[in-house]
Amino acid sequence: MTSRNSFSGQLGFVLTAAGCAVGLGNIWRFPYLAAKDGGGIFLLVYLVLAATFGFTLLTTEIAIGRRTQKCALFAYKAVHPSFRHLGTVACLIPAILLSYYCVVGGWVMKYAVAFISGGGQDTVADGYFSGFVSSQYEPLVYMAVFLGVTALIVSRGLNRGIEKFSKTIMPLLFLMIIGIAVFSLTLSHTDDDGSVRTGWEGLKVFAVPDFAGLTLEKLSVTFLDAMGQLFYSLSLAAGIMVSYGSYVRKDENLVQGINRIEFFDTLVAFLAGFMVIPAVYVFSGMEGLESSGPGLMFINLPKVFSSIGPAGGVVGIVFFVMVVFAALTSSVGMLEAVVSSYMDKYQISRRRCTWLSVAIIASVAVVVCLGYNVFYFEVDMPNGVKAQVLDLLDYVSNNIMMPVLEIGTCILIGWFVTPDYIVDELTSSGEKFMRRKLYTVMIKYVVPLLLCVLLIKSTGLV
């Protein structure tokens, strides 16, 4: 075995891990869920879960990586041989995720290019987005460019590629989000009937708890939405944090690093809400907040930028460039989780592993692109969704494989090797772990129970 590379310091680790966590889910899903689930009610539930549920899983994955000094494929076997198959699942998940994530990343690149080239107004035309994704060639080109950029970063290695990219992009990404968020709060719009909506009113929709009509059933939906969002927000159950954890030096304060990752990611998620919800509310009202994912990103927001006036073109450029950066930081983590597994298994060079992995992932991504034209079909999923190729891959990876992986991880750590396996790693350099009792209770009892509920609900089995 070759000696394992490591991050240059805690800053590189935190920015890289947080960058991977700050992806499309924080930008297009978090604001929608907040608006749907009672604004501040969702935020409070999310904060509680982030400090308990999310903290437990994030800590477990990173600590497993550092203690074993292995990629996800082999880390679980190193913890306990009977759980070696969890490593296989943890390696497959990022490969599946990236096979459609790079397609969506290509869509974002398309819109960034459109705004940069002065064609931002064209994006608001009816059928623009559907016409683009259903075309046979253009989505393939943008997907290939996005995946190629991801591969170039990963192929340069941990320090010269991934860490350097994260240290450069993350501060810029943070400033861009803050800038757009502040601008959104200054917006106002007068309807034909004379009523005025302002960015500050939109902020209230996001941040102020709305208890009107709150029932136990609605609260349980909010709870499950927030729990599901944490998988996106913290890049959990994808082998990524295990791989990144294996690159953390033994003398680094792991508890401090994990706390900073969680804080930074939560801050960006909240800023994304400040950025998106006030702007959409001002020009589209509550109706505009009923869309999530592609509908919000590629249809509603371009209309918002168009309504702003001359400054809208500039805001559109900054926004979509920012989203490209956010998407790349996540895709780099996904590809690294796959590449590190190939490197450890076959003992071949990083560059060769990267391009072999990309070739396999790209072959699936081509099918995803063509799933909107040549290979178009619709199938009814158990959760009530009509799925195409992309939706099918998303359902299998997010709704089934990821909860199953984390349930297995909880059983492994909570009951086979005991939570002390993780606690000992966290305190190996003399650090204090103040949440030790909380962690033990969460990993043994609470988290696996919640994951079982999430698995049953998200798959549509009940």
* Bigger pLDDT: 289 vs 94: 94
Model confidence pLDDT, tens digit, residues 126-150: 889 999 999 989 999 999 999 999 9
The SS3 call for residue 258 is helix
Helix and strand numbers, DSSP H then E, in the chain: 23, 4
Rounded to whole angstroms, the Cα distance separating 134 from 46 reads: 36
Query: Would the pLDDT of 213 be above 60?
Result: yes
Model confidence pLDDT, tens digit, residues 364-403: 999 999 999 888 888 887 767 778 888 899 888 988 999 9
Query: Would the pLDDT of 3 be above 70?
Result: no
Interhelix angle 199-207/254-284, nearest 10 degrees: 130
Amino acid present at 308: I
Model confidence pLDDT, tens digit, residues 71-98: 999 999 999 999 999 999 999 999 999 9
Query: Would the pLDDT of 35 be above 90?
Result: no
Q: Which residue is associated with the tokens 């800023």? A: 271
Q: Which residue is associated with the tokens 């750590």? A: 413
CA 71 to chain centre: 20
Query: Would the pLDDT of 20 be above 90?
Result: no
Residue among 234, 231, 178, 177 nearest 20 (CA) = 234
- pLDDT for position 152: 97
Structure tokens at 125: 């035309």
Binned at pLDDT 50, 70 and 90, residue 1 comes out as: very low
Binned at pLDDT 50, 70 and 90, residue 294 comes out as: confident
Dihedral, CA of residue 410, residue 414, residue 420 and residue 421, to nearest 10: -50
Structure tokens at 2: 């070759």
- pLDDT for position 327: 93
Going by the DSSP 8-state scheme, the letter that residue 2 receives in this structure is P
Query: Would the pLDDT of 2 be above 60?
Result: no
Model confidence pLDDT, tens digit, residues 153-183: 999 999 999 999 999 999 999 999 999 999 9
According to CATH, what is the number of the domain 10-459? 1.10.4160.10
